[in-house]
Amino acid sequence: MMRPTLLLLLLGLLAGAVFLSGCMAPQTTELPAAPSVTAPPATAPEDLMFLTEDYPPLNYVENGTIRGISVDLLRGVLKRMGNAVSSDRITVLSWSQAYETALSRNNTVVFATVRLPEREHLFKWAGPLGSDRKVLFSLKDRSPVITTPSDLDRYRIGVVRDDSAHLQLLGLGVNASRIIAYPTIRSLISAMQDGTLDLWCYGETVGRYHAGKVTGDPNAFSVVYTLEYQDHYYAFNKNTPDEFVARFQAALDSLRYEPDETGITEYQRIMYRYLGVSCTPEPPVSREQVVSLVDYTADALMHDAPGTIARINAGEHPFWDRENRALYVFVYDTNVTIVAEADNPHLIGVNMKGKTDVAGTPFREQIVEKALAEGTGWVDYIWMIPDRNGVYYKSAYIRRVEGSDSETYIVASGMYTPCAA
């Protein structure tokens, strides 16, 4: 049995050690614990607010209800995150008000926002949800010929305050003194009508919509110059928790790229609902490029099927062209299962029997049937252009090939159908 004096001595030493450790430890234990980056919160911040503008078909009010492509995408993303978003959390303001509020108010999101280098450090970003391009409009009876950005310095150009068009024009080298900012799109168009401006810069589809509202004629203005495509994002105030933004991005990626039981994604369904099927006047992929890529892939499969499939699924060049992301290859087996997909790894290993495009065409089965019956050919369907808004008419060139592993593969690559002249 331990002696009382020894026990008292040990207890005293223990108490001293505890006292000293408390004095010497860094004084951080009273601060609230930092949020875990590996276990994001399940719910959105209580004061989370979404701000947008009247910019159809991306976001707009119809019969008192907020609608649009980016609104439906937002609702779909939050549903996948286990959160609902009520209409009172989405507020429609002028673009300048929405943008400035998102810069200054915590837990605020402004959308759809063009992600430009000048804005990169101002927000946290989730996207892209698509792309768009600005154009320069003139009055129909006064349409100047503009071939280079330097030509623009001869004209007074109107933009909406804080809109990306302003930064894009400056980036092209347009003299800042020639650019005039207006608080709203209506005031901008009115300035064109009264002769204050020579040109105005805005998104083409939305610009024509607003031109119709103001002038009664959506084709009152002519496009005289086109800027480059820019990506749209959800822009979060910098003080929004990183964990929430990361989960938002993951849910958006899922909604955009993971097909449901019908074979299409919710993103495609939303685009089809608002835009129908689009064509592009300048297809990003040519017929010759598609045929060349399919032939190259078929030859590679004949020489090394396992290695080629691995390279395709890794998204390697040229199977997914690093210079042109709309040019890529995909491969089926004879059972209509995707064995290789350079653009969308979510599709690898998925059997596509009974699955269709947004218009209900079972194009994958048509691809396999035609390849088995004829060896090669073309099949028409509807699909996305990577990183652009909308769904487009597309045609796939296909070729049946026997791989080095003695398996039969159907190689395909698609081109987007150009608009009729």
| pLDDT tens digit sequence for 313-334 | 999 999 999 999 899 999 999 9
pLDDT of residue 85: 75
CATH code for the structural domain at 278-416:
3.30.450.20
pLDDT surpassing 80 at residue 84 = no
Residue 373, class by beta-carbon neighbours within 10 Å (0-12 exposed, 13-18 middle, 19+ buried)?
A: exposed
pLDDT of residue 9: 40
CATH code for the structural domain at 49-131+231-277:
3.40.190.10
Residue 79 identity:
K
Residues of the chain with CATH 3.40.190.10: 49-131+231-277, 132-230
Spatial CA neighbour of 383 closest among 419, 350, 358, 353? 358
Spatial CA neighbour of 324 closest among 356, 279, 292, 277? 292
**Residue 293 in tokens:** 């890529």
d(CA 21, CA 354): 68
Mean pLDDT of 185-198: 95
Where does the pLDDT of residue 87 fall: very low under 50, low under 70, confident under 90, or very high at 90 and above? low
Spatial CA neighbour of 326 closest among 275, 257, 383, 272? 383
pLDDT surpassing 90 at residue 281 = no
Where does the pLDDT of residue 420 fall: very low under 50, low under 70, confident under 90, or very high at 90 and above? low
pLDDT of residue 21: 38
Residues of the chain with CATH 3.30.450.20: 278-416
pLDDT of residue 161: 94
Beta bridge partners of 376: 399
- Name the pTM for this structure: 0.73
pLDDT surpassing 90 at residue 176 = yes
Residue 9 identity:
L
pLDDT surpassing 70 at residue 378 = yes
Spatial CA neighbour of 44 closest among 234, 231, 232? 234
**Residue 137 in tokens:** 């409009």
Q: Which residues, other chains included, contact 238 with Cβ-Cβ below 8 Å and sequence gap of 6+?
A: 122, 123, 124
- The position carrying tokens 């004095």 is 23
Where does the pLDDT of residue 142 fall: very low under 50, low under 70, confident under 90, or very high at 90 and above? confident
- The position carrying tokens 């119809």 is 62
First-to-last CA distance in the chain? 103
CATH topology (fold) of 132-230? D-Maltodextrin-Binding Protein; domain 2 (3.40.190)
